[in-house]
Amino acid sequence: MSETATERSLRDSWRLGGLTVPNRVVLAPLAGIGNWFVRLQAKRHGAGLCVSEMVSSFAVHHRNERTLRELLRVHPDERAGGPTAIQLFGHDPDVMRSAAATVAQTTGVDLIDLNMGCPVPKVCKTGAGAALLRDPGRAVELAVAAREGSGLPVTVKLRTSRTHDDRDGIEVARRLAADAGVAGLTLHPRSATQRHKGFPDYALVRQLVEELPVPIVVSGGLQDAASAREAWEASGAAAIMLARGSLGNPWLFAELLGERSGEPARAEILAELDWVIDRAVEHLGEPRAARYLRKFYPWYLDRLGAGAAERDALQRTETTAGARAVLAGAGLASAA
Ligand SMILES: Cc1cc2nc3c(=O)[nH]c(=O)nc-3n(C[C@H](O)[C@H](O)[C@H](O)COP(=O)(O)O)c2cc1C
């Protein structure tokens, strides 16, 4: 990489598989979270590229109705601020080819990302996710199948290794770049056994940046603006990917892009939470939205300094009106 850290800006556009990504701040795939409205929220706050939660290639191939309706749902406004991607996981190249074709035909997304880092045993025992770090031939076949099936650029997100002392993911990355025609790679430089703990090894990302001809995105440990900038500089990556740091903090995208500074005001946080509640109802209807939102509330309550009573009450709400009443009753928001 010829650019130096001082010349580089997160605001710069970059090319990914023939697409132009308007800046270097990306929303990570987040299982159970990264649906259309979470991606749309990230885009509203400046993300240049968003990747969906991981979606089973088998479920898409077998036309599972809820998968197609909910997980493959893409809002037209998502694509206004830069490309958007659906992430698929699986281990069977024919199934992947078929699923990738369906994604391309039905969603209008710009690229497909493949999951080769998920450490969850249920996924790995089928040979998918992080199991592919020990199966480079299969990893290449899957990426080729997704590219051929969809006709779209394909990226892969992977980890350093299955276990802490290995580097098998680095070899898979090399193979994917050389033999699968991937448009880019995201490296989360932790092993699968580390899950989401431990300090990510950004020097390994830098090694790939210097060695491979495709753009490398860095993931892992980007919980706030300072750590995100540190990862950007230490890794030399083409872009940074926000994951847990963006939960309940979409303002982090704008902060990193130099478009705002300082903490969001209370009113902004409440307005954002209101927007999220409305979108969840639009997505899932009542009462599923009310239950689904229970995982979202703590992220926003942390910022609002809410107490244990409100937290407990929100975890028990059966309707979004009930949740809004708890927020209003605690003086956190006005009743809807
Ligand atoms: C709740 C949760 C869900 C995740 N789901 C996915 C996923 O579907 N696909 C994927 O490739 N990575 C997934 N990841 C990994 C993240 O994309 C990211 O690589 C990881 O959280 C490290 O970044 P962080 O330390 O900044 O959070 C998930 C992580 C979390 C915490």
CATH code at position 32:
3.20.20.70
Q: What percent of the chain clears pLDDT 90, i.e. is strictly above it?
A: 85
| 336 falls within a domain | no
On whether both 153 and 292 belong to a single domain, the answer is no
| 172 falls within a domain | yes
| Maximal C-alpha separation, the chain | 59
Q: Quote the pLDDT of residue 307.
A: 84
Of 206, 226, 256, the last residue of a domain is: 256
Instruction: Single out the catalytic residue among 21, 88, 109, 118.
Output: 118
On whether both 216 and 127 belong to a single domain, the answer is yes
Mean pLDDT of the chain: 94
Tell me the C-alpha distance between 336 and 324, whole Å: 6
State in Å: Cα 292 to ligand 1 middle.
18
On whether both 291 and 205 belong to a single domain, the answer is no
Q: What is the pTM of this model?
A: 0.95
**Residues linked to residue 184 through DSSP beta bridges, in sequence order:** 155
| 334 falls within a domain | no
Tell me the pLDDT tens digit for each residue of 2-25: 455 458 999 999 999 999 999 999
Among protein residues, the one with the nearest Cα to ligand 1's atom 24 is: 220
Between residues 331 and 77, the one the model is more confident about? 77
Shortest-distance atom of ligand 1 to CA 245:
26
Q: Is the CB of 53 under 6 A from ligand 1?
A: yes
User: For residues 88 and 146, is the Cβ–Cβ distance under 8 A?
Assistant: yes
Q: Which helix (H) or strand (E) holds 105?
A: helix 93-107
On whether both 290 and 149 belong to a single domain, the answer is no
On whether both 244 and 185 belong to a single domain, the answer is yes
**SS3 label, residue 335:** coil
On whether both 217 and 318 belong to a single domain, the answer is no
Q: Is the CB of 325 under 6 A from ligand 1?
A: no
The set of residues, in sequence order, having a beta carbon less than 8 Å from that of 69 and lying 6+ positions away, is none
Shortest-distance atom of ligand 1 to CA 190:
22
| 8 falls within a domain | no
| 140 falls within a domain | yes
State in Å: Cα 335 to ligand 1 middle.
34
Q: Quote the pLDDT of residue 215.
A: 98
| 85 falls within a domain | yes
Of 211, 231, 256, the last residue of a domain is: 256
Upstream peptide bond of 287 is cis (omega within 30 degrees of 0): yes
Strands 14-16 and 19-21, sheet pairing: antiparallel
Shortest-distance atom of ligand 1 to CA 53:
8
Structure-derived torsion over alpha carbons of residues 225, 227, 233, 239, reported in degrees to the nearest 10? -60
User: For residues 164 and 193, is the Cβ–Cβ distance under 8 A?
Assistant: yes
How many domains is the chain partitioned into structurally?
2
| 1 falls within a domain | no
Tell me the C-alpha distance between 236 and 3, whole Å: 9
118 is a catalytic site residue: yes
Q: What percent of the chain clears pLDDT 70, i.e. is strictly above it?
A: 96
Among protein residues, the one with the nearest Cα to ligand 1's atom 23 is: 220
On whether both 62 and 200 belong to a single domain, the answer is yes
State in Å: Cα 193 to ligand 1 middle.
14
Q: Is the CB of 189 under 6 A from ligand 1?
A: no
On whether both 237 and 311 belong to a single domain, the answer is no
On whether both 169 and 310 belong to a single domain, the answer is no
Mean pLDDT for 293-308 is 90
Tell me the C-alpha distance between 240 and 26, whole Å: 6
Tell me the C-alpha distance between 170 and 176, whole Å: 10
State in Å: Cα 224 to ligand 1 middle.
15
Mean pLDDT for 282-290 is 96
What's the domain range around 126?
Answer: 14-256
On whether both 80 and 192 belong to a single domain, the answer is yes
**Residues linked to residue 219 through DSSP beta bridges, in sequence order:** 241
On whether both 308 and 162 belong to a single domain, the answer is no
Looking at this protein, which amino acid is placed at residue 117? G
On whether both 143 and 169 belong to a single domain, the answer is yes
Looking at this protein, which amino acid is placed at residue 295? K
Of 228, 256, 284, the last residue of a domain is: 256
Tell me the pLDDT tens digit for each residue of 317-330: 999 999 999 888 76
Residue 336 has pLDDT above 60, yes or no: no
Q: Quote the pLDDT of residue 1.
A: 45
